[in-house]
Chains A and B, each alone.
Chain A
Amino acid sequence: MMEYIPLNFPFLAAALLVGISFYILIFKRNLIKLIMGIGMLASGVNLFLVALGYRAGGNAPIYTDVPEGPMVLPVPQALTLTSIVINVAVLALMLTMVILIYRHTGSLDSEKSRKMKG
């Protein structure tokens, strides 16, 4: 069964996630949906980074209960972890700002809560 899944399936999934999130960012008006779209974009990019590190026949770079053989480099996993930490901070900041905007203007629609034009 495993040979029917093509080898670049994770990359197709990452491209699909990025595409859907760009559709959300351009066409949706609710502020909470915008934040969810940015979270989905972050998931797509993190999946792409982890899928880059696959080497056929390699093992995980840990100590306990791993079979003999060559180990992969832990660099893509470190990049992904740093990206996850940064996205946690960005999402926390965005959610706090949405709470403040709701308090000032009483609506979550991005067309009704705009005050600056021109």
Chain B
Amino acid sequence: MTSKKARNSLVIVSLVFVAFLVFALARDIHLNGIHIYTLGAIAPDLALPGGAMVPIRIILEVDGMSIFMGIIWATVSLAAAIFSLSHMARETGQTRFYTLLLLMVAGCFGMILTGDLFNLFVFLEIASISGAALIAFRTRFADAVEGGFKYIVISAVAGLMFLFAVGLLYGQYNSLNIGYLANVMQYGTLDMIALTLFLISLTIKTGMVPLHMWYPDSYTVAPANITAMLVITSHACMYAVFRICFTLYGITLDATTVGWIIIIIGLLTMFVGVTMAVFQTDVMRFMSYHAISQMGYMWMGVGVGLAVLGNPEALATYGRDAISGGIFHILNHAMYKPLLFMTAGALFHRTGTRDLNKMGGLGHNMKFTLILYIIGTLSIAGIPPLNGFASKFLIYESVYQFNPVLAVVAMLVSIITLASFTKAFQSAFTGPQLPEYKDVKEVPKPMLIGMGILAAGIIFTSIFPGLIVERIVKPATDALINQAAYVNGIMGGMP
């Protein structure tokens, strides 16, 4: 038994150490600007050695937006690892489970912190392969293996299309570095084809609406904490879309057309997601349809900002606030959606079923889970004291100035979200206590600690929303809009 304790403590200690390093780096970047790191050179920031014109070697480049995603991922992966100490305790092969979990953490961090297009592809594939193996981990369930198979097929096709687009850009400009490509990009026909391939391949992985059929099937059958980590992986693919649209192409692309395409994607995603979620009976499937619908808010907010990118006074009036709203919604969603998935996992851990028709009256026994579920529901529906309201209000008031119809649809979707979550709450927790659940106890302590970390983050953001927006979200927005700072980090002021 000592080897089991050693393995568990190694995993938790290394994740705590990584979280500490990420927070230290965040403080350094907010004080000192963009940092780069060249792998294998004489000194870490020597991107152009010996007077070369083109940056050589793989360069990692971290600015405000990258470290924002890094903070989210460090927190959620620590909470998910603590949750799995007792949720997966009855499975065999646990050493392999923790190996795959640490591989997935490394893959997603590589995707967030890199400044090189091919490096992004390699880490995207690492995160996809380990994610698919983790979804199909409990091989005694037939639908778990089917969900994992769908995930790996979609990820393989998306990754290969991404590689095709990287090959197109490499053949024209002979470099793979994002900063250098942003400097020499001319928007020809081949670059338009490459942009289309990039957008399609990355938005398939985030669950965009015409191609979202695989998303509920895969996220329902995974263990609950793995679904929490996979939601953040799809956020990282959304981050890759923003990096390509704002930093790699920048002013040269046709901002109005691409911005409107992203806005229409956001509208469809919001609406279809929430209408499919209303009549589900499986609690994890219900929550994954809501995850699709909340991504639509982020697409819409940042799409409005992209559509006015070439228009300086509209950008200063409401464009910056729209992008800030979208990015703040990423932060809030990354805190309440994993919490909701973990409460569904807690229900499954104690009752052995995911069907809402069979559960009932569990609020008498599982009091802490009830409180955490209420915090998550109030946050996702946008009820005033909690943080969901702050980010949704920022999106409503800036999108309304762009086009009023979008804000009205967004408010309607929010109302339907609240209605469906109330129905799920009533059928799972309230009501008379059923005889087969009479001696169901509360979930074990590690699961409560994991959920408690996320709930503490929600309450902190609800009490000080202005502080979070000033210190974390505003530097991320400025880093996205300011393409010249990213290029100067690599080229060092050369023309």
Contact = CB atoms under 8 A, between A and B. Distances in A.
A and B touching (C-beta < 8 Å)? yes
A115 B145 CA distance: 11
B63 interface: no
B149 A101 contact: yes
A100 B139 contact: yes
A76 B166 CA distance: 11
A94 B160 CA distance: 15
B149 A94 contact: yes
A90 B280 contact: no
Contact of A105 (B118, B132, B142, B156): B142
Given A25-B157, A48-B164, A93 B142 contact: no
Interface residues of chain A: helix, strand, loop or mixed (majority)? helix
Given A45-B163, A49-B167, A52-B167, A97 B156 contact: no
A34 B153 contact: yes
A45 B164 contact: yes
A49 B165 CA distance: 10
A75 B122 CA distance: 15
B152 interface: yes
Contacts of B321: none
Given A41-B157, A76-B170, A97-B152, A116 B146 contact: yes
Q: Chain B: interface residue count, which band?
A: 20 to 34
Interface string B310-327: 000000000000000000
A77 to B, nearest CB: 12
Contacts of B125: 86, 90
A90 B148 CA distance: 12
A114 B129 contact: no
Nearest to B128: A90
Contact of B171 (A45, A52, A94, A100): A52
A75 to B, nearest CB: 8
A10 B492 CA distance: 39
Contact of A101 (B142, B153, B166, B176): B142
Given A45-B163, A45-B164, A93 B146 contact: no
Given A34-B153, A93-B133, A93-B152, A41 B145 contact: no
A54 to B, nearest CB: 10
Contacts of A25: 157
A98 interface: yes
Contacts of A98: 149
A62 B385 CA distance: 67
Contacts of A82: 118, 122
A7 interface: no
Contacts of A30: none
A59 interface: no
B442 interface: no
B46 to A, nearest CB: 20
Interface in B137-182: 139, 142-143, 145-149, 152-153, 156-157, 159-160, 163-164, 166-167, 170-171, 176
A48 B285 CA distance: 40
A69 interface: no
A90 B152 contact: yes
Given A86-B122, A97-B148, A38 B157 contact: yes
Contacts of B280: 118
13 contacts: A18-B164, A38-B156, A38-B160, A42-B160, A45-B167, A48-B167, A75-B176, A86-B122, A86-B129, A90-B152, A93-B152, A101-B149, A116-B220
A-B CB proximity, top 9 nearest:
A104-B142, A52-B171, A97-B149, A100-B145, A86-B125, A90-B156, A115-B143, A49-B167, A45-B160
Given A49-B167, A93-B133, A98-B149, 17 more contacts: A18-B164, A25-B157, A42-B160, A49-B163, A52-B167, A79-B167, A79-B170, A86-B129, A87-B156, A93-B129, A94-B153, A97-B152, A100-B136, A101-B142, A104-B142, A105-B142, A116-B146
Interface of B: 118, 122, 125, 129, 132-133, 136, 139, 142-143, 145-149, 152-153, 156-157, 159-160, 163-164, 166-167, 170-171, 176, 217, 220-221, 280, 285
